[in-house]
Amino acid sequence: MTEEALRRRRGPKPNPNRGTPSGYRLTDRTRFELQLAAAFVGTTSLQDTIALAVDEFLASMRQVDGYSEALRAAETSQQRRAGVPALPSSDPDDNSSES
């Protein structure tokens, strides 16, 4: 082997984005407030506090006109694209399966 070949870097090329953080990052102020809120809502970790806040937000969204319908439509569309067969109706008033 030539000396030049030995100096070349082996393996994959370096990825400049490899160390880039992904996901949601909290500001220091938001983290501080959530840690304080944990004492008021009875959670023991920041993750539990965030999960509770998200659950409460989604519960309030379900009260917004049109949100539930949009959610069902999005779920149906996603399942269709993924090739997931439709589930049978769970509506208790639906008697189409009875003879």
Tens digits of per-residue pLDDT, 81-92?
888 777 666 665
Q: Which domain holds residue 71?
A: 46-82
Q: Is residue 51 part of a domain?
A: yes
- Pick from 57, 55, 46, 56: which is nearest to 24 by CA? 46
pLDDT at position 60 is: 98
The two three-digit tokens of residue 64, written as one number:
């917004």
56, part of any domain: yes
Helices 46-61 and 28-41 pack at an angle, to 10 degrees, of 80
Confidence band for 64, pLDDT divided at 50, 70 and 90: very high
Backbone angles phi, psi at 91, to 5 degrees: -70, 120
Give the CA distances from residue 57 to residues 42, 50, 60, in Å, rounded to whole numbers and listed in that order.
Answer: 17, 10, 5
Asked if the structure places residue 77 within a domain, the reply is yes
The answer to whether residue 58 sits within a structural domain is yes
In a domain, 71, yes or no: yes
Does 7 reside within a domain?
no
Q: What are phi and psi of 81, to 5 degrees?
A: -65, -35
- The residues near 60 (Cβ < 8 Å, ≥ 6 apart) are none
Measured from the Cβ of residue 33, the count of other Cβ atoms closer than 10 Å reads 13
| Predicted TM-score (pTM) above 0.85 | no
pLDDT higher than 60, residue 47: yes
- Residue 98 within a domain: no
* Residue 16 forms part of a structural domain: no
Please give the tally of structural domains in the chain.
Answer: 1
